[in-house]
Structure 1
Amino acid sequence: MTAREKILADVRINQPPLVAAPDIAIWENKPKADASAILETFKTVAGNVGGRVIRVSSISDIKTHLNIPQGARVITTIPQLFDIANDSALFAGATPHELEDVELAILQAEFGVAENSALWVTEKQMGTRVLPFICQHLAFVVNASDIVAGMHQAYLRTQGSDHGFASFIAGPSKTADIEQSLVLGAHGPRSLVIFIIG
């Protein structure tokens, strides 16, 4: 038996006992929060973590809010915005090195969470899993009706779904490790704008 096989065998033997998933019935029976209060909380929290929220009536309205520098590389997974993107139909199989010069990525979020302004994005919406983390600026599109109050509701919303990769993303990249001051765009997108439809 090799050292690797011995280590893996020891890990298998020393597994903790299986524990049942928590009972989520108490979350399902919670009274629903007012939709306008949920949206206000989402906007406030998004602003507090460095993001910006813009309400629009349709996806086509998003174009009027974008200020894209001449020659900047824009990628989106949203077909209605392909006309403002450079090569969105071609990037799905791109390597991270081929995406290093993306100025703006515009992605559809499956849903948002008001309590922390996080947006749930799956690999299907990302096109390629590195995109929302490698671009200079990031924009999300989410329907107002798809914003839930808290992580308990988010947990229920993701239940039963199966993805190769998915992530909650809240605000632009940031760190406060350096001299205890908040730095935006530390190791990922320098800005985040969220377009809420409806």
Structure 2
Amino acid sequence: MGRAQPELFASRVDIGQAVGRVAAEISQRCSNGAVLVSVLKGSLPFFADLVRAVSIAVEVDFLALSRFAPDSGRVRLVKDLDCDVAGREVVLVEGIVDTGLSLGYLKGELKRRSAASVAVATLLNRSARRILPVEPDYVGFEAPDEFFVGYGLDWAGRYRNLDKLVIGDPSLLADDPDAYVSLLY
């Protein structure tokens, strides 16, 4: 049975509180500064709010991965970092950690580049789908095994600009990608 209407998971206020908590944890643990790396595109709103909320010196950078190749679990880097992370503390910022496959790849890649440490901050930790045993260091929300849109997370490029997180129905969105467009107004 589908969800005709999306269910609110986290309001803008809830998200703001989670961002503040995660920022405080990062600031405490990385008191000498860090490189914050946004994993595009789903993390962008979380990343922007997090960068403004931390109380440490940060350098920011961005990277992007391709979608998973069908039935392979493989991704490739399509946008690389501009900065050198050798000897530096790095915090990868994700919108959602799901299977752990992307996260495992990125952590391995940054360790190969001699980062002093690689931590992960995520808005949503959906551990029910975890394949690789990797866990984020900083978590905004523990997420049920549901489909989310809003605050950076999308369906076919839509809904990233919602200021809240909602649980939606992917089969409904497959039939009508604009089914939740009323949430934007």
| TM-score class normalised by the smaller sequence | 0.3 to 0.5
Could you state the TM-score of these two structures normalised by the residue count of structure 2?
0.32
Could you state the TM-score of these two structures normalised by the residue count of structure 1?
0.31
The structure that has the greater radius of gyration is: 1
Q: Hey, which of these two has a bigger chunk of helix by percent?
A: 1
